């Protein structure tokens, strides 16, 4: 039966109502409702498969949407990162080339030679261009040009330059590696020469050569792709008088850098100029030749031969446009790049080969070209397609399995529940007779009872029928096994553990009729220094035994420490709830991984490195408990859980005396603040060491056995009834309305 239904139908009687205590389970309204619900489900079994299919459909939609969004975000990030890396590499390479050329332009001998050439008469310059010297004295322009070639030759070979030009302020070539350029001006040189003559070194976009040059195959031909790195030449007055441009082969480092930007089998990075023309080689040149986009001859390449146009269909699937390529529109991503913006598109568009692609683009305004990184959409989203296919198969299997398992589970659960209900109605669990239900928590329900033969009052905790799964049973067994190892008089004692033939898991422990520290402070306010010391010393005894056995409690808090009358003594402490105990030799176990504890009392290391906690973490929590007992307030208050955790890690606690506004025994204050040290090396290293610190404190209001007896004599009727485990809820007001006093971890 759903928990919300049982709460709604719970009788409005107190837990200790004598009438209810004598009613059998079968006589309650809850039992009658269970029977009616069972009859309905027996007749309407078709509801469950439909309910399962609806839930799986919702889960499938949510998961599919989430995965799709995650993959898109990841793809956007990957494309953007790759493009940014490519851009950074290119800009770095451009900067290096500019610095190299600038170094050559500032060379003293080069400057001297260029200035001499500029000083020649224009007629002499024309004569020099015709290799007809006419100077009466000194070297001719042609001789100076030859001298300049010799001066630059060594540097050109070492810096991988393959030619040069020197242009005056009118952009006329006065010297060049190729004499046929001398004395002329070329519109193709204007974009980079004009920028350089204004004082800014630059690198040109690849463009067709104006003279015959060797291509990448070594064949001499016109319109060979070329590019220049240009730097200004200054005279002795630092005035720009000319520009030095060094020629480089774009198919070498420029294209090689871009071809590093590949994703998978279909991804590539390429550059386009302001007309949408590729100014780098595509990785698919061979395919472009087969598709007819490139001419089929030796050395055919996409650089300066392919405009990035949308053919309207996938060319690799046999599609052929009905118009000439020059009439096709530029691709969507190329248009975006030419607009001077940067961005990423994962919605899909057609690339220059007609395939649906996703990509990123950017524009380099200084160099006047764009960069595009793209990959076929089918490859980019292949993981999503595989996940969707896997999910649909799994979905079908789950639907079939859910229907089959449901039928089997209904039968088994019905029989098991009937047996468990019968056992509870009989008020008998093995050798134990159940009397009064004390409470219920997330894990189980607790009854007061007694052993059939010993007649000793006992608290019996059993698993809720709804919690009978492997994880719950494992935690239940682990809690009792660990607690049963502890023999200290201040640790709760375990008497028995078992499982009835009906499948009810239970364990029996000593019955406590005291009050937990949370309720103590909530009902009676801050406690005296003597009583605080008296309580903390007893907790130290329990913790010392646990720590000596290699166990860390991990959930020391006021609600897990009870004051009782035991053996004729008053104010006897019992430490409860060892369900979160961690063995120091355990590492990364499924039961103990992650953060565990109560946020108001967690040590810094239990938040930052929960797998590395030791006994000193319990001492931090115990210091926080002592602080709470003494002041009536927790060490830190916060509005959010993250803020509270950050305070535990970094904030310095306010002294108890400052919080109370009155003096506090220095010894007690020092002991509490020592426990609350952020660095566990500065805390007391053992519970026994802390106990000795507490024993040595000199105070005037010692808590004596007579005072304890008197207090219990006054308040015994008001204290809460037995709470043998923190799994059992109390009605006592807590100190935090935000729920920070609730345990997190293995609950």
Catalytic residues: 555
Output the furthest CA–CA distance in the chain (Å, rounded). Answer: 136
Q: Which residues have C-beta within 8 Å of that of residue 224, sequence separation ≥ 6?
A: 208, 209, 212, 213, 214, 215
* Structure tokens that stand for 624 in this block: 């926080």
Cβ proximity of 735 and 633 under 8 Å: yes
Taking the CA atoms of residue 483, residue 487, residue 491 and residue 493 in that order, the dihedral angle to the nearest 10 degrees is: 70
Closest to 514 in 3D by CA, of 706, 732, 743, 717: 717
Using the CB atoms, write b or e for 431-449: b if 16+ within 10 Å.
Answer: ebbbebbbbbbebbbbbbb
Taking the CA atoms of residue 471, residue 474, residue 478 and residue 480 in that order, the dihedral angle to the nearest 10 degrees is: 110
Distances in Å between the alpha carbon of 9 and those of 3, 15, 179, 728?
A: 10, 15, 103, 20
Distance separating alpha carbons of residues 541 and 687, to the nearest angstrom: 7
Kind and range of the H or E element at 247? strand 240-248
Kind and range of the H or E element at 89? helix 47-105
Q: How many helices (H) and strands (E) does the chain have?
A: 23, 23
Cβ proximity of 373 and 359 under 8 Å: yes
* Structure tokens that stand for 261 in this block: 């930007």
Closest to 87 in 3D by CA, of 379, 380, 360, 377: 360
Cβ proximity of 389 and 396 under 8 Å: no
Closest to 533 in 3D by CA, of 707, 713, 717, 720: 707
Q: Which residues have C-beta within 8 Å of that of residue 274, sequence separation ≥ 6?
A: 338, 368, 369
Cβ proximity of 104 and 231 under 8 Å: yes
Q: Which residues have C-beta within 8 Å of that of residue 446, sequence separation ≥ 6?
A: 437, 438, 439, 440, 459, 460, 461, 462, 722, 724, 725, 727, 728
Q: What does DSSP assign to residue 303?
A: T
SS3 159: coil
Distance separating alpha carbons of residues 347 and 359, to the nearest angstrom: 9
Distance separating alpha carbons of residues 723 and 519, to the nearest angstrom: 11
């Amino acid at each position: 039966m759903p928990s919300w239904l049982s709460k709604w139908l719970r009788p409005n009687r107190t837990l200790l109502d004598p009438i209810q205590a004598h009613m059998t389970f079968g006589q309650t309204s809850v039992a009658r409702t269970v029977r009616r619900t069972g009859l309905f489900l027996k007749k309407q079994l078709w509801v469950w498969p439909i309910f399962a299919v609806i839930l799986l459909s919702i889960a499938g939609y949510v998961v599919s949407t989430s995965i799709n969004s995650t993959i898109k975000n990841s793809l956007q990030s990957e494309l953007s990162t790759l493009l940014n890396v490519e851009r950074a590499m290119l800009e770095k390479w451009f900067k290096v080339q500019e610095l190299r050329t600038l170094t050559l332009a500032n060379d003293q001998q080069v400057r001297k030679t260029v200035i001499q050439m500029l000083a020649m008469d224009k007629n002499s310059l024309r004569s020099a261009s015709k290799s007809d010297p006419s100077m009466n004295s000194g070297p001719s322009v042609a001789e100076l040009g030859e001298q300049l070639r010799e001066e630059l030759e060594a540097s050109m070979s070492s810096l991988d330059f393959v030619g040069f030009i020197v242009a005056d302020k009118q952009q006329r070539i006065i010297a060049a590696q190729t004499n046929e350029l001398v004395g002329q001006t070329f519109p193709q040189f204007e974009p980079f020469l004009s920028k350089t003559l204004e004082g800014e070194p630059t690198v040109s976009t690849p463009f067709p050569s104006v003279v015959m040059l060797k291509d990448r195959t070594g064949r001499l031909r016109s319109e060979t792709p070329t590019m220049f790195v240009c730097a200004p030449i200054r005279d002795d007055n630092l005035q720009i008088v000319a520009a030095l441009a060094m020629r480089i082969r774009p198919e070498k480092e420029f294209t090689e850098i871009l071809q590093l930007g590949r994703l998978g089998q279909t991804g590539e990075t390429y550059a386009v100029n302001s007309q949408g023309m590729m100014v780098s080689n595509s990785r698919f040149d061979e395919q472009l030749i087969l598709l007819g986009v490139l001419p089929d001859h030796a050395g055919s390449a996409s650089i300066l031969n392919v405009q990035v146009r949308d053919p309207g269909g996938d060319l690799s699937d046999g599609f052929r446009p009905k118009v000439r390529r020059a009439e096709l529109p530029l691709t969507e991503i190329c248009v975006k790049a030419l607009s001077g913006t940067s961005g990423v598109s994962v919605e899909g568009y057609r690339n220059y080969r007609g395939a649906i692609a996703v990509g990123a683009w950017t524009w380099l305004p200084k160099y006047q070209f764009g960069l595009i990184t793209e990959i076929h959409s089918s490859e980019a989203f292949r993981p999503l397609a595989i996940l969707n296919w896997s999910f649909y198969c799994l979905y079908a299997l789950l639907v079939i399995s859910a229907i089959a398992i449901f039928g089997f589970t209904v039968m088994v659960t019905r029989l098991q529940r009937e047996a468990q209900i019968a056992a509870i109605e009989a008020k008998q669990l093995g050798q134990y007779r159940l009397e009064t239900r004390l409470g219920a928590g997330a894990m189980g329900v607790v009854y007061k009872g007694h052993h059939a033969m010993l007649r000793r009052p006992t608290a019996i905790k059993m698993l809720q029928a709804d919690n009978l799964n492997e994880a719950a049973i494992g935690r239940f067994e682990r809690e009792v096994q660990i607690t049963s190892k502890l023999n200290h008089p201040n640790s709760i004692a375990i008497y028995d553990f078992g499982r009835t033939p009906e499948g009810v898991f239970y364990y029996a422990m000593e019955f406590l009729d005291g009050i937990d520290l949370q309720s103590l402070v909530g009902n009676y306010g801050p406690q005296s220094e003597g009583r605080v010391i008296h309580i903390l010393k007893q907790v130290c005894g329990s913790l010392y035994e646990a720590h000596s056995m290699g166990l860390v409690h991990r959930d020391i808090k006021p609600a897990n420490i009870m004051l009782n009358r035991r053996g004729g003594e008053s104010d006897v402490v019992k430490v409860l709830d060892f369900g979160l105990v961690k063995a120091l030799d355990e590492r990364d176990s499924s039961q103990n991984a992650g953060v565990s504890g109560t946020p108001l009392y967690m040590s810094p290391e239990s938040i930052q490195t929960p797998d590395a906690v030791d006994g000193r973490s319990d001492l931090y929590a115990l210091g926080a408990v002592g602080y709470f007992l003494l002041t009536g307030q927790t060490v830190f208050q916060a509005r959010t859980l993250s803020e509270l955790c950050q305070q535990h890690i970094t904030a310095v606690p306010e002294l108890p005396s400052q919080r109370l506004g009155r003096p506090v025994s220095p010894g007690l204050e020092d002991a509490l603040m020592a426990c609350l040290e952020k660095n566990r090396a500065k805390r007391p290293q053992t519970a026994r060491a802390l106990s000795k610190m507490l024993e040595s404190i000199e105070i005037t209001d010692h808590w004596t056995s007579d005072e304890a007896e008197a207090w219990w004599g006054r308040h015994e009727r008001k204290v809460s009834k037995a709470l043998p485990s923190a799994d059992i809820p109390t009605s006592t007001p807590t100190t935090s309305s935000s729920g920070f006093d609730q345990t997190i971890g293995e609950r």
